[in-house]
Amino acid sequence: MQNRMMITGAGSGLGREIALRWAREGWQLALSDVSEPGLQETLKLVREAGGDGFIQRCDVRDYSQLTAFAQACEEKFGGIDVIVNNAGVASGGFFSELSLEDWDWQIAINLMGVVKGCKAFLPLLEKSKGKIINIASMAALMQGPAMSNYNVAKAGVVALSESLLIELAHEEVSVHVVCPSFFQTNLLDSFRGPTPAMKAQVGKLLESSPISAADIADYIYQQVAVGEFLILPHEQGRMAWAIKQKDPQVLYNEMTVMADKMRAKAKQSAG
């Protein structure tokens, strides 16, 4: 392990905080995002925190950009030890309202972006016996109402991570998947959905979170160190997951009530 890490979606939010958490341990960081100004700012903060590295603009929908990023890591760092597939976008809306374009967009970034990140960097990770950290969401485990395309994409990230955990054990590449609940982030900047009311409701949930992106990054750091596969940073998320494992119907009933409330609120806003 030579302390070399790659992060997608590193220009803001959780990606930036993960970079800063590892930078404090003196790591070399390869930072990518679609936002150049965000990346410049992250690199500046990384250097102030005690790390170093380089930035490269990368859209995770484009596999050739990810393979070029992997090549840059090999040229500049001589390889990579940890990859963090973090780039993601938010969306919401009831299934009947979501277009197939909404589905394609969500799956191309939040699921296939992770698949392509793992694929592009796997040869380097096999050499270094490194680690994969995939950022999913509690939505992958809880399937809240009015976000089916987001739920499906993030559940795919968990299923991919479980598959890789098993397949890559032979290569001594370890795998971790993180499922945060709502937290204060700029995820809404990328939000796409059919109704403004939905965006406002998600915004309230993000703002009311008891923990910050920096807290989550620190929790990820600790859990990866002890080898935990499924990382649930929110206490409420851990409790909800325990309930679902014991009696899923309890959660389904609760989500059905929530869906009715959301429909009623949306009607009020429209009226």
For residue 127, what is the enclosing H or E element? helix 112-128
pLDDT at 211: 84
pLDDT at 185: 46
Please give the Cα distance from 206 to 74 (Å, whole number): 37
- Catalytic residue positions, numbered: 150
Please give the Cα distance from 49 to 154 (Å, whole number): 31
For residue 203, what is the enclosing H or E element? helix 196-207
| Dihedral angle of Cα 163, 169, 171, 173, to the nearest 10 degrees | 80
pLDDT at 196: 58
pLDDT at 213: 92
Taking the mean position of all CA atoms in its chain, how far away is CA 225?
19
Please state the pTM of the whole predicted model: 0.91
Half-sphere exposure of 36 (CA within 13 A, CB side): 0
pLDDT at 184: 45
Question: What value does the mean pLDDT take over residues 32-60?
Answer: 98
Tokens of 5: 């890490």
